[in-house]
Amino acid sequence: MIWQMAHGKHLDLNRTIVMGILNVTPDSFSDGGQYIEREQAVLHALEMEAQGADIIDIGGQSTRPGHTPVSAEEEWSRLRGIIPLIREKCSLPISVDTYYPLVAENALSAGADIINDVSGFGNPDMLTVAARHNAGCVLMHSENIEEEQDAPTRVRDFLMRRREEMHSIGILNDRICFDVGIGFGKTNEQNLRLIASMREACGSENPILAGVSRKRVIGNSCGNISAGERDFGTVAAHTIAVFCGADIIRVHNVPAAVQAARVTDAVMGRGHSNG
């Protein structure tokens, strides 16, 4: 399977893809404030590239539980000096983690290749931006699920419905990656079920991204440890997710994720070439 993106970029998903997280925010739950300076952000992106990341995912706003939203203008002010520099120095595809069409438009024009929209492309203007730039799209499930409801079924219904909307304006499967939305509107038990049900929830026609890194579901399973102590649990969760259908893992700790992905791929008999 090939994931197509803006600017002619693509990735061959015959092995597990590692998406490295770069938060240029003061308040992200795990690494807030570490990379808000331009030089620090660029150096970290290059460090993750050297460590084996396949994608750099840049976010200018925290979406952790209880976060205070910022405006599109404020979010872009955090990104506008960073994305062009990373594009100049880094050869990897760049993903922008935003639900604002203005930010997505500016980021793609500055060299980003992927829109990672935690709101699930519910804004028609975001669909227009994605279609105009031929962007890769991470379509995340973003609706609350009631405790008694079956999480994989609810996620699948949402993703299929939203995918049809994307198809209707010319965004086809080879540009759409699914994300079940671990930690967004779900109970702990539903999150665990979804980690083990990636293919059931997402089907087999689209790339699947697992975003579990250092999230509360990891802490809950390990005695409520802090975010910075959750890397070992993250490796376990992402390894299970890959066995259950995930093609891409979104991570804070790139070296740990790359090692785990390569061993998992070897056990599964998956290839090692890049797109």
**CATH code for the part of the protein at 2-267:** 3.20.20.20
Tokens 């002010």 sit at which residue? 77
**Cβ contacts of 188 within 8 Å, gap of 6 or more:** 216, 217, 220
**Which of 215, 216, 230, 270 is labelled catalytic?**
215
Q: Which of 19, 20, 2 is nearest to 11 (CA)?
A: 2
Q: Which of 58, 54, 57 is nearest to 15 (CA)?
A: 54
Structure pTM? 0.92
Q: Taking a C-beta distance cutoff of 8 angstroms, is the pair 151, 186 a contact?
A: yes
Domain boundaries in the chain?
2-267
The predicted structure's pLDDT at residue 226: 87
Query: Catalytic site residue 250?
Result: yes
The predicted structure's pLDDT at residue 253: 96
pLDDT tens sequence across 161-194? 999 999 999 999 999 999 999 999 999 999 999 9
For the chain, how many residues are written?
275
Q: What span, in angstroms and rounded, lies between the C-alpha atoms of 128 and 134?
A: 10
Q: What span, in angstroms and rounded, lies between the C-alpha atoms of 60 and 40?
A: 14
Q: What span, in angstroms and rounded, lies between the C-alpha atoms of 245 and 242?
A: 5
Q: Taking a C-beta distance cutoff of 8 angstroms, is the pair 208, 199 a contact?
A: yes
Query: Catalytic site residue 38?
Result: no
Q: What span, in angstroms and rounded, lies between the C-alpha atoms of 198 and 240?
A: 10
Helix, strand, coil percentages for the chain (3-state, nearest 5): 45, 15, 40
Helix (H) or strand (E) holding 234: helix 231-243
Sign of CA dihedral 19, 267, 230, 255: negative
pLDDT averages per 10-residue partition of the chain, 275 residues:
97 97 70 64 95 96 71 93 95 97 97 96 97 98 93 97 97 97 95 96 97 94 89 96 97 97 96 56
pLDDT tens sequence across 17-46? 999 999 997 644 444 445 567 888 999 999
Tokens 């997710």 sit at which residue? 241
Q: What phi and psi values does residue 52 have, to the nearest 5 degrees?
A: 110, 10
**Which of 78, 186, 230, 250 is labelled catalytic?**
250
